Copies of this chain bind each other. A is one copy, B any other.
């Protein structure tokens, strides 16, 4: 993969953000520095970064996909009612993945699992 200024900026944007950003948000944050960049370019760079494993893409229930730097494997529980996001360490999921991999001779590449449900606050509150 070539190092173009646009892809480097997107990567550093994600590295510094430590949060989930949508393609549209990334595009907006990029415009001040790179006014001429096209939305399709942003989508394509993100696609490439996902493909090379530098960035993870996931549907967090917000209606559009969000991107995040892929440095530390982790997973999430997302409340469907209040949209609170709990973060799970990889250690909580890894044992399951191991056993599935062995049982089915399958190498799992999913590295950012998102599970939906209802958090404690919403459950007791309603």
Using a CB–CB cutoff of 8 Å, the interface residues on chain A facing chain B are 59, 77, 79-80, 86, 88, 92-93, 95-97, 99-101, 103-110, 113, 115-120, 123
B109 & A117 in contact (Cβ 8 Å cutoff): yes
> Assembly of this chain: how many copies?
2
> Within 8 Å CB of A86, what residues of B?
104, 106
A109 & B105 in contact (Cβ 8 Å cutoff): no
B120 & A105 in contact (Cβ 8 Å cutoff): yes
Could you list some 8 contacts between A and B, CB below 8 A?
A: A77-B106, A77-B108, A79-B106, A88-B104, A92-B103, A107-B117, A108-B117, A113-B115
User: B93, B96, B99, B116: which contacts A108 (Cβ < 8 A)?
Assistant: B116
